[in-house]
Amino acid sequence: MEWQTVIIGSGVAAAAVASKLLDRDPGHALLLLEAGPRVPSKDRRLWWDFVLSGRSAYDHCHDLPLPGDGNTETENESTGSTPWTFRESRMMGVGGSTYHWGGWALRFKDEDFKLFSRTGRGADWPISYDDLEPYYCQAEALLGVSGEDPHRWNRRSREYPLPAFKQTAADGPMIQAFEQLGIAYASMPVARFRKCMTTGTCKYCPLGARFVAAYLLDALVESRRHPNLALQPRRVAAELVFDRKDRVIGARVLNTSTGESRSVFAERFVICAGSYESAKLLLRSRNSHWQNGAGNDAGLVGRHIISHPFLYVQGRSRDNPQRLQQELDFPTLMSRQFDTSREQAGGKLFLFRDRSKPRIDLAGRMIAGRSRQEIDAELTGPTLWELQGFMEEFANPNNRIELGQGLNRLGLPQTRIHFARAEGFEQTSAERLRVMQEVIRAMGLEVGESGVQPQRGDHAASTCRMARDRQDGVVDEHLRVHGIGNLHVCSNAVFPSGAAVNPTLTVTALALRLGEHLAS
């Protein structure tokens, strides 16, 4: 065999599996295939361009907008009654979506692993919080998470590796409202290393102070300890090749730089291609053994797609005498008060203060010729505040991802998502919004605009969900595809349910657990 292991994708899941495999066996013959290009990191020119134009260095690695709104280029398809937003919902390049992630790093809670048993909705995980707890600790160390848990929202065997960021002055009014209403709060745990200089351009950090999987992969590749490690950008795994039903022997790979296609062979394959592509690669791998796609005899690949409904409530203060502005590019105030087993049946709610408000675009005002006095009057005048929240979403088998027509500009197949909100969502989201409106009122503000943002795919999950039984899921508790001995999937795709908080710390913990399992 050419390789011991081939990993498809190069995001945080891939990097964490790779780091574990190499940690145990530095000589491991390991190939990572990445469909997208390499994006230069910590590049001063790209950083200045980002500061001045707001255009990121990796715009070309995003999905293009859906048809409509005068867009000239279009990709993907959203069918179903609730439109699905693809734009910027993932990044296709070395380092994957952690290139543009916010770095919020939260653990799921005990009850999140038992959703079905507790509520009769969604699915249980075949593993428990305690199974994952040691890997959560490792994941927090790997990502460099700064955090605090004064309310013991999670049972933990190790404290956060770095202290929490202190709350900003602009958090003050909302903190007071939380206290008045008896809502417990804490600082948002974020993956920011010790060297962070609070520069606030986190989508393209000039210092490499926010975790990006590309940094970890570069360090692994550059280390002399790993002579048999290779990372190949612009290589799309187009299809898996089987010699018998329960064994993959190769992957057909398209080199998008040359247009050539060739197969790579390995003892084992791990698909870390994100929630969209992991399912799509299985669906593309149709052959005489797997007529509906690899691992898809039960027809579950691509089904149950979820993300997080994004709730928001705004309020406007009459004035802002302290000229409070949002001074960091990430939130420092959150609450898990409504992310408990009490709320689970209706959909848990995770609250946080908007990371971009209050903010007056000073540069825009100056460019528009406003004088210092005019700008100052605006800064101390009426000010917009916003409380936001993620709600837990319940999976529905009819909500699904499918292969679209043709390929995108990176050589990956187009995506079609069929999605509709769960029955009763209107009512439960309205209840959750009322809780949020109370906070805005306790701030002494009149409630302004509030509602649910259009569904985004940032936290897409559950398209290859994990279950002990092959009738219930695509992979088993060790993330092995049911019925295929040497094929694993590691991505948010394997989550049986999505909880209310961001997914990446959990997928990193799963990846470290998988890496350890494979290495042993």
Please, are residues 503 and 510 in contact by the beta-carbon 8 Å criterion?
no
Task: Tell me the site size for ligand FAD, rule CB under 6 A.
Answer: 41
Is 390 within 8 Å of 349 (Cβ atoms)?
yes
The torsion angle over the Cα atoms of residues 324, 313, 316 and 354, rounded to 10 degrees, is 10
By the rule CB under 8 A, 181 interacts with another protein: no
Task: State the binding partner of 205 from another protein, ligand SF4, ligand FAD, none, CB within 5 to 8 A by kind.
Answer: ligand SF4
Is position 224 an interface residue for another protein (rule: CB under 8 A)?
no
Residue 22 interacts, among ligand SF4, ligand FAD, another protein, none and using kind-specific CB cut-offs from 5 to 8 Å, with none
As a whole number of angstroms, the distance between CA 418 and CA 8 comes to 25
Residue 20 or 210: the one with the smaller Cβ distance to ligand SF4 is: 210
By the rule CB under 8 A, 150 interacts with another protein: yes
Interaction residues for ligand SF4, span 320-339 (CB under 6 A): 329
* Count of other CB atoms within 10 angstroms of residue 349: 26
CB closer to another protein, 353 vs 488: 353
Which residues between 337 and 396 bind another protein (CB under 8 A)? 362-363, 366-367, 369, 371-372, 375-376, 379
**In this structure, what DSSP letter does residue 358 have?**
S
CA angle (232 as vertex; 231, 235 as ends), nearest 5: 145
Q: Does 198 bind another protein (CB under 8 A)?
A: yes
Using the minimum distance from each CB to ligand FAD, give the nearer residue, 41 or 89. 89
Which of 192, 438, 435, 185 has its CA nearest to residue 334?
A: 185
Residue 274 binding ligand FAD, by CB under 6 A: yes
Which of 5, 7, 20, 36 is close enough to bind ligand FAD by CB under 6 A? 36
Could you tell me if 307 and 393 are in contact, meaning their C-beta atoms sit under 8 angstroms apart? yes
Cα 69 to its chain centre, rounded Å, is 26
Q: Is residue 34 involved in binding ligand FAD (CB under 6 A)? A: yes
Task: Specify whether the CB–CB gap between 183 and 135 falls below 8 A.
Answer: no
Q: At what angle do helices 213-222 and 12-24 cross, to 10 degrees?
A: 30
Q: Are strands 229-232 and 413-418 parallel, antiparallel or unpaired?
A: unpaired
* DSSP strand pairing (261-271 vs 3-8): parallel
486 binds, among ligand FAD, another protein, ligand SF4, none (CB under 5 to 8 A by kind): none
| Interaction pattern, residues 166-205, with ligand SF4; x per rule: CB under 6 A | --------------------------x---xxxxxxx--x
Question: Do the Cβ atoms of 78 and 457 come closer than 8 Å?
Answer: no
Query: Is 209 a binder of ligand SF4 (CB under 6 A)?
Result: yes
Whether residue 358 has a cis bond before it, omega within 30° of 0? yes
Rg (C-alpha) for the chain, rounded Å, is 23
49 binds ligand SF4 per the rule CB under 6 A: no
Residue from the set 507, 510, 512, 518 that interacts with ligand FAD by CB under 6 A: 507
Size of the residue set binding ligand SF4 (CB under 6 A): 13
Q: Is 185 in the site for another protein (CB under 8 A)?
A: yes
| Residue 86: closest CA among 417, 405, 412 | 417
- Residues 43 and 243: beta-carbon distance below 8 Å: no
Our finding on whether 325 is near another protein (CB under 8 A) is yes
Which residue among 3, 6, 9, 149 contacts ligand FAD (CB under 6 A)? 9
Query: Using CB distances below 5 to 8 A depending on partner kind, what does residue 13 bind out of another protein, ligand FAD, ligand SF4, none?
Result: ligand FAD
CB nearer to ligand SF4: give 59 or 446.
Answer: 59
Q: What are phi and psi of 274, to 5 degrees?
A: 85, 170
Site string for another protein, 47-86 (x = CB under 8 A): -x--xx----------------------------------
- Selected from 21, 39, 216, 412, the binder of ligand FAD by CB under 6 A is 412
Which of 271, 291, 272, 273 is closest to 283 using CA atoms?
Answer: 291
Q: What is the DSSP letter of 362?
A: H
Please state whether 144 falls in left (phi above 0), alpha (psi between -120 and 50) or beta: left
Our finding on whether 75 is near ligand FAD (CB under 6 A) is: no
Pick one of 145, 202, 281, 300: the residue that binds ligand FAD (CB under 6 A): 281
SS (H, E, C) 192-248: ECCCCCCCCCHHHCCCCCECCHHHHHHHHHHCCCCCCEEEECCEEEEEEEEEECCEE
Give the C-alpha distances (Å, rounded to integers) separating 503 from 57, 158, 178, 459. 24, 20, 25, 7
Partner touching 369 among another protein, ligand FAD, ligand SF4, none, CB below 5 to 8 Å by kind: another protein
Q: What residue ranges bind another protein (CB under 8 A)?
A: 44-45, 48, 51-52, 148, 150-151, 165-172, 175-176, 179, 182, 184-186, 194-201, 206, 322-325, 327-329, 362-363, 366-367, 369, 371-372, 375-376, 379
Q: What residue ranges bind ligand SF4 (CB under 6 A)?
A: 192, 196-202, 205, 207, 209-210, 329
